[in-house]
């Protein structure tokens, strides 16, 4: 089977929701895209990020990998499809992140330490 790659920054904004493992990079990409996220954490920092997004109101309760089944996943997808508040919160956070210009701020901060 051939692996097909699609960049998160291109794909995620086209989606109604993102289903993923909850790693920091994928979580950040979902937040930036402004779409709700359904997270199935299974290792390392993933449980932390899945709980954080749930508390932020942009994700339903995470699905522990050991309990994952089609019925639970379908219910979480129905939740994000029907929950207008969750969708709006994700859009708001995405807009804030996109407007942030974090790279320019980081460069200015670093240069401030070295250029006198």
More confident residue, 3 or 70: 70
One DSSP character per residue, 42-93 reads -STTHHHHHHHHHHHTSS-----GGG--HHHHHHHHHHHHH-HHHHHHHHHH
Over 80: is that where the pLDDT of 114 sits? yes
CATH number, domain of 59, equals 3.40.50.2000
28 in any annotated domain: yes
**Beta pairing partners, 18:** 37
Torsion of CA 83, 33, 93, 44, to 10 degrees: 90
CA-wise closest residue to 19 among 66, 67, 95, 80: 80
Summary mean pLDDT of the chain: 94
Over 80: is that where the pLDDT of 1 sits? no
101 in any annotated domain: yes
pLDDT of residue 6: 85
15 in any annotated domain: yes
Domain of residue 84: give its range.
Answer: 8-114
3 in any annotated domain: no
2 in any annotated domain: no
Give me the number of domains the chain comprises: 1
């Amino acid at each position: 089977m051939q692996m097909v790659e699609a960049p998160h920054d291109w794909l995620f904004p086209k989606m109604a929701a993102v289903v993923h493992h909850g790693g920091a990079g994928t979580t950040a990409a979902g937040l930036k895209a402004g779409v709700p996220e359904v997270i199935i954490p299974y290792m390392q920092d993933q449980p932390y990020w899945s709980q954080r997004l749930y508390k932020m109101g942009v994700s339903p309760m995470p699905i522990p990998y050991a309990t994952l089944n089609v019925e639970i996943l379908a219910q979480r997808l129905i939740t994000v499809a029907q929950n207008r508040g969750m969708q709006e919160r994700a859009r708001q956070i995405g807009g804030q992140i996109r407007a942030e210009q974090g790279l320019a701020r980081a460069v200015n901060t670093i240069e401030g330490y070295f250029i006198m």
